[in-house]
Copies of this chain bind each other. A is one copy, B any other.
Amino acid sequence: MSNLTLEDIAKRCGVSRSTVSRVINNHPNVSDKVRKRVQKEIKNTGFRPHAAARALVSQRSWTVGLVLPRSVNSFFTDPYYPRLIQGIAQGCNQLKYTLGLYLITDSEDEEEIFPRLSRSGSLDGILFQSDQIGDQLIDRLAQSGIPLVIIGRPFHNDNISYIDIDNISAAIMAVNHLVSLGYQRIGTITGPLNTTVGIDRKNGYRQALQEHGFSVDEDLVVEGDFTEDKGYAGMLKILPAQPDAVFVASDQMAIGAIRALREKGLRVPEDVAIIGFDDLPLSNSADLHLTTVHQPVYQFGVKAVEFLNDLIITGTTPPRHIIMGTELVVRESCGAHIQQL
C-alpha cells in the first residue's frame, strides 16, 4: 500500500520530487494550484514519507527515549509511574515525538543499554529517571552530547539538566501543617533513602521540625520504599514511639500505614494524623480522604518533554534545572476539618 515514494507522487502529479517535498514540509514557495493538486494526490494515495529516509537526511529521528532503571521496582505497584508516563506521552504527542520506552529489566546490564541509547540517529533526546545506580550511565550519556533531561534530581551530578519538584519545601509545608494543628510527636515514613526524592523529603521533614524547635527523635523516622507494604510495616515499626502524626512520603505508603492503624484499632486522625504525598486519584477514594501534598505528575511529564525539546533545539549547555511547585491538599486525615468546625 504505502510503498510509494516521493518520486511516485511527483510523477503522478507531473511535478518534481522537490516540489512534492516542499508541499509535505509546508515550504512557502509553491504555487497554490500545484500545492492543491499534490495534496490531493497524497491524500488519495495515503502516501507517507519514509521515516528513516527523512531521519537520515535531516539528522532528526523525532523520537525521544524514556529510560526507567531497574531500581524503579515500584513501577508496577505505584500509580505514580503510569501517570508520569501518560504525561510524557501527552507531551510527545503535542510535539510530534514518538516515545521510545527503555525499561531496564533484570536480564539487561546497564552496559548493554548504553549502545542502544547512544546509537547515533535513533534518538533525538533522552528522559532518564534519576537513580543511584544509573548515575554513571547518566554521566556517559551526558558526555556523548545527546540532549538529556534527568527526571528527578540526580545524585552527585548537578551540572546536568534536570526537572524535579521541590521536595524539600513540599515536605516542610506538610510538616508545618501538622505543627500548626498542634501535633507534638510527628514521625515520618520516608521514601527509599538511596533516591534523592527519599532523601529530600526526609530532609524537609527534619528541617521543618528544627525550625519549630522540635528535636528529631530517630525512633519516629522509618525508611520505606513507596510500596503499600512498606507503609504498613513502617507504621507498625513507628507505633511504639507513639507518634500523634506521621508524614508519609507517598500516598501508596500512607494507605498501608492507615491499614496498619485500623488493624490496631486506632483512628485517623483522632489517634494518629496522617499526611501523604502525591495526591494521585487513589488518595481520595470512598473510604479515604487523605490530606496530602499534591504534585503535578501529569504536567510534570508534559513539561519534561517540552524541556527536552528545548534542549534539542537550543543546545544542552548550560545545564538548566526546572523545579515545579507543589501544594497542600487538606482533606480529612489530619483533622483540620474537625478543628475548623
The residues of A with any CB-CB pair to B shorter than 8 Å are: 1-3, 46, 48-53, 55-56, 61, 63, 66, 75-77, 79, 81-83, 85-86, 89-90, 93-94, 98-103, 105, 107-108, 115-116, 118-122, 143-145, 228-229, 232, 259, 263, 280-282, 285-287
Q: In whole angstroms, what is the CA distance A278 to B324 when docked?
A: 37
User: Could you tell me if A120 and B3 are in contact, using CB atoms closer than 8 angstroms?
Assistant: yes
Give A93 Cβ to nearest chain B Cβ, in Å: 5
Inter-chain CA distance A282–B232, complex, in Å, is: 13
Residue in B49, B145, B280 whose CB lies within 8 Å of A1: B145
Task: Tell me the nearest residue of chain B to A82, going by C-beta.
Answer: B76
Shortest Cβ distance from A114 into B: residue: B46
List chain B residues, Cβ under 8 A from A107: 90, 93-94
Q: Choose one: B52, B55, B82; the contact of A81 (CB below 8 Å).
A: B82
A120: chain B residues at CB < 8 Å are: 2-3, 48, 50-51
Are A52 and B56 closer than 8 Å at their CB atoms? Answer: yes
Q: Are A118 and B2 in contact (CB under 8 A)?
A: yes
In the complex, 7 of the A-B residue pairs with CB atoms within 8 angstroms, ordered by the A residue number, are A51-B121, A76-B79, A76-B281, A77-B79, A85-B103, A86-B103, A259-B287
